[in-house]
Structure formats: C-alpha cells, structure tokens
Chains A and B, each alone.
Chain A
Amino acid sequence: MRLSFYPGCSLEGMASDYARSIDAVFRNLGIDLVEIEDWSCCGATAAHSISQTMSVLLPARNLAAAEKMGLDLVSPCAMCFNRLRFSQNMIKKKVFDIPWPVTGNVRVHDMTRFLAEPPMIKSIKERILRPLNGLRVVCYYGCQMVRPPKITGYTDYENPQTIDRIAAAAGAQVIDWSYKATCCGASIGIARREIGESLTRRILQKAQQAGAEAIVVSCPLCQSNLDMIQKDRSKRHTPVFYFTEMLRLSFEEHGDPKWFKMHFTDPVPLLRAKGLLS
C-alpha cells in the first residue's frame, strides 16, 4: 500500500522524534509513505488569522501535488490535517483563485484515523512483539483533529476513539476521561504564557486524576505543551508519548531509550519499571 505523506514543518523540528517513530511504524506495517515532493507549510493558525486567502492557497499547493501523485494523503499533524481539509472545502466553493491545478478531491486522512480502521488494527495486532501490558494511559486528541466536525468528518468528536483503539491494540490499559478534546492552548503560550499554562495544566491535572501514568497524543503542539509544562516541577512525572512511539515500542523486542531523548518528561524510568525497556 502506498500513501502520499505530508509531514508538516513541526516534524522537521520540534517533533522530529515523532517523524522517526512514524517512519519505523509504517516500515514495519509495510506501508509506503511517499513524501510529497517539495511540500510547503500549511499556514497553520497564522495564515487563517491574518489572511484567509493564504489559508486556502497554502494547503492547496500541497493538495495539488498530492493529486498529481494520485494517492490518498495522510497527515500526522492535527493542525495540517485540519487546514488541508478546510482548504479542500473552500476550493470546492470556487471563491479563491488558486494558481495551481487542483480539484480538492484527494482523500485526506489524519494518521490516527487511518491506523484505527479495523484492517489496520488487525495488522497492528499481528506485529506486536512486546505488548504494553499494565501501562495505564489516557489518550488526548485536542481540537484540530476533531473539530469542527463538518470539516474533520469526526462523528464522535466529543469522545473520539481512534488513538484509544490504537493504544489498546498495543496492549496498553486505556482509561476513559473527560478532557480528550479540550483545548491545550496551542501556540497562545508563546505570546501569553499565563493563558497557555492555565489550559495545559488543567488537562495534565485531569489526566493524572484519572489515574494515567502517561498521556498519548498525536499532535506535535499538544505534545510539546503537555511535555514542557512539566519541566519545572519534580513531583509527578506523566510522560507524553506520540501514539506512534507507543506502537514502535510494542513492535520491537528491544526498545531504545534514545528514542525518547527529546522528551522533557523522561519516560524511561516508567518504561523500565513496567519492564518495557531494558
């Protein structure tokens, strides 16, 4: 199976560990991710906020390239996924002049949903060498992957299940909780720290109250917010994993502590205690 892959800017910087785990997982699953040649930034919230035209045109350029490849597109970043879908929607309304030939008809998947389809879950289960037994996790989705439902296509946007299903398939004990899709503040913390921290801290607290030992996410911004807010306190560590890091861990007999060196909240002690890392 082949898919066109739109990594997005974060996967070359803040989330390059996410990129590495995706690579390992898809290799193992035998799915060919073909990076869109010469892709460019989706514009994120900034383009949307300042220039709506840019927010339609920037993703359109990548959609045009994906259409040329004739493959379904998969996006690991919630923000990129949302912006690509939004742009498709606007392209079809034909109110923007787009300098690239594009129809908006390519199928855009978010990576979690793609991997949570029953046949994929089956093939994930077949590859598990080291189930994550006894690891209690909550899955956190944030905003952009699920909302607004008209754009994202999620019908269970209040209680999404894609990462839950994947983490469960990897053998983790998935805990239900109420803050799956509550906003973590996104990039607001860069300009207004107190707002960002108040939102992120609440999600972290709720995850801990639910009894989670770790949080599983799919969005680079959610990961860094939840991870970095724990940099100054010493009491309770709640590592924040990308869902593909969990999968990779369960796919390989011997995990490597080096995989997690970019994390602020070091997950290695927890994984060792659970016998998941030697």
Chain B
Amino acid sequence: MQNIISGLNQAHENDSGEERKLIGDRGDYFLNRMQGETGVDISACYQCERCTNACPVSHFMDIKPHQAIRYVQLGWREDLIKSSTIWICLSCEMCTTYCPYEVEVAEIFNHLRNMAAHSSITPKEKSLAVFHQTFLEVLQKSGRVNEFRLMNTYYLKPDILHERIKNKTLKEDLLLGITLLRKGRLKLFTPKSKAIKEIKRVYSQTRGEIV
C-alpha cells in the first residue's frame, strides 16, 4: 500500500500546479478502450503486486508494473505515456505468466508503447524508443536486419550520437564494433529479402499512408 501511495504522490509532483487528480474523475473511457483493444480484462487486477515482484527491471521503472495497471484503471493515460516504465519493459513476460488473474501486463505495456510511439509526447527513455524505431527503419529498407547497418544507423542518429559523446561511451562502442567485425560477428553485407516492396508497402500503410 505504501508503494501505491508514494507512486501516486510522484504522479502529482509531475504535473506541478495542476489540481490533484481525483480517483475516478475520468470515468472509465480509457480503461474500456484499453480492454477493448488488448482483449485483456484489466479490471480484474486486484493489486497483488505479483507482476512487480516477478519483473526483473521494476527498480529501473518510475511507475511499477502493478501501479501502471492501476493507472490504466484510473484513466491516467498521459502519466503512462510519459513514463520510463513502458520503454524499460523488456517484454520478458514474467508479469503475464505469474498474474493470478491473467492480466496480460506485458501486452498492456506493449500497447502503451504503441500509443506512445504515435503520440506527440517525447518518450522518457528516448534512446530505447529510438532503437526500436531504427530497427524498423532498417528492416523496411532491406526486408531483413543486418546488425552492422542497424548499429551504424542507430549510433548516427543525432540524439544518440550526442548522448554517446556526452557519456564518453562512443570510443568503447567503436572498439566493440571493431572487435565484432574482426571476429566475423558483424557482417558488412548480408542478403536482402526480395520482398522489400511488399514490406515497404505494409510499413507505409501502418504509418497511415494510403498506398
């Protein structure tokens, strides 16, 4: 209980100056929407915290998994979209596997990540969000993902490059890259899939383009 309360207080600090959010003041529009889209009975969660206890990275999250489920029930959408939680989540599925009520926590987080990726809010864990984005970018260009191209494209993203220079990790990354190349683990060229056109088309469609 202590955890839940401190979690809630944190959320209030975030929207400083704003009025205190009352429980239930948003109705259950967001909850219903999430339940409808994921097919998960989110109302069933009774805050046993098993998901959080099973989660290997909960201590890196600002909103713990069980709290996040409560947030969904309360309709606190933007707190979730702004959280580090949704990006830190590894999709390891421990939470889903051990929830006594079959609340598919990992699937809910995944859905929230999808929402966040299509929202105007800058992700709190930008480096993680950009990694996923880069992966898809490389994928739609060649139908398969060449790890060398993936890493290159990722490190050359302005935000990432800037962050690496600031943290002084760029040299280390470069050295690792060279070792991997030398060991034959990174390949400069790998076959492309001939289906690039089909895949590009799907990629554009999912981004709302009419093709």
List the interface of chain A (C-beta within 8 A of B). Answer: 9-10, 12-14, 16, 38-41, 43-54, 57-58, 61, 99, 143-144, 147-149, 157, 182-183, 185-188, 190-193, 195, 199, 224, 228, 231, 261-262, 264
Asked if B186 is at the interface (CB within 8 A of a chain A CB), the reply is yes
Q: Is A45 touching B198 in the complex (CB atoms < 8 A)?
A: no
8 contacts between A and B (CB under 8 A): A12-B191, A13-B146, A45-B132, A46-B139, A52-B110, A144-B93, A147-B96, A185-B90
B41 CB → nearest A CB, Å = 14
Asked if B145 is at the interface (CB within 8 A of a chain A CB), the reply is yes
* A23–B71 CA distance with the chains assembled, in angstroms: 49
Q: Is A46 touching B146 in the complex (CB atoms < 8 A)?
A: no
* A52–B39 CA distance with the chains assembled, in angstroms: 14
Cβ-closest chain A residue relative to B180:
A14
Q: B11-19, B43-51, B123-131: which lies at the A interface?
A: B123-131
Cβ-closest chain A residue relative to B113:
A49
B92 CB → nearest A CB, Å = 4
Q: Is A262 touching B92 in the complex (CB atoms < 8 A)?
A: no
Asked if B190 is at the interface (CB within 8 A of a chain A CB), the reply is yes
B193 CB → nearest A CB, Å = 4
* A78–B88 CA distance with the chains assembled, in angstroms: 20
* A144–B93 CA distance with the chains assembled, in angstroms: 8
B36 CB → nearest A CB, Å = 11
B200 CB → nearest A CB, Å = 11
Q: Is B193 touching A39 in the complex (CB atoms < 8 A)?
A: yes
Asked if B136 is at the interface (CB within 8 A of a chain A CB), the reply is yes
Q: Is B90 touching A188 in the complex (CB atoms < 8 A)?
A: yes
Asked if B76 is at the interface (CB within 8 A of a chain A CB), the reply is no
- 1/0 contact trace for B134-171 toward A, CB 8 Å? 01100100011111100100100000000000000100
* A91–B104 CA distance with the chains assembled, in angstroms: 19
In addition to A46-B131, A183-B57, A183-B94, 6 A-B residue pairs with Cβ atoms within 8 Å of each other are A49-B91, A53-B206, A61-B195, A183-B56, A231-B179, A261-B183
Give the chain A neighbours of B169 by CB distance below 8 A.
193
- 1/0 contact trace for B91-102 toward A, CB 8 Å? 111101100000
* A199–B56 CA distance with the chains assembled, in angstroms: 8
Interface size class of B (residues with CB under 8 A): 35 or more
Q: Is A148 touching B104 in the complex (CB atoms < 8 A)?
A: yes
* A128–B108 CA distance with the chains assembled, in angstroms: 47
* A195–B84 CA distance with the chains assembled, in angstroms: 13
Q: Is B114 touching A46 in the complex (CB atoms < 8 A)?
A: no
Of B60, B91, B128, which contacts A191 at CB under 8 A? B128
Give the chain B neighbours of A51 by CB distance below 8 A.
114, 117, 136, 206-207
B117 CB → nearest A CB, Å = 5
Q: Is A147 touching B117 in the complex (CB atoms < 8 A)?
A: no
Cβ-closest chain A residue relative to B84:
A192
Q: Is A262 touching B114 in the complex (CB atoms < 8 A)?
A: no
Residue among B92, B111, B193 with max Cβ neighbours from chain A (10 Å):
B92
B1 CB → nearest A CB, Å = 28
- Contact A54/B92 with A46-B132, A188-B128 known, Cβ cut-off 8 Å: no
Q: Is A190 touching B131 in the complex (CB atoms < 8 A)?
A: yes
Asked if B26 is at the interface (CB within 8 A of a chain A CB), the reply is no
Q: Is A148 touching B96 in the complex (CB atoms < 8 A)?
A: yes
Q: Which residues of chain B in 167-193 are interfacial with respect to chain A, using CB atoms and an 8 Å cutoff?
A: 169, 176, 179-180, 183-187, 190-191, 193
Give the chain A neighbours of B202 by CB distance below 8 A.
53-54, 57-58, 99
Of B91, B96, B128, which contacts A192 at CB under 8 A? B128
* A264–B182 CA distance with the chains assembled, in angstroms: 11
Give the chain B neighbours of A49 by CB distance below 8 A.
91, 110, 113-114, 117, 132
Q: Is B131 touching A58 in the complex (CB atoms < 8 A)?
A: no
- Contact A50/B133 with A14-B147, A191-B128, A264-B183 known, Cβ cut-off 8 Å: yes
Give the chain A neighbours of B179 by CB distance below 8 A.
231
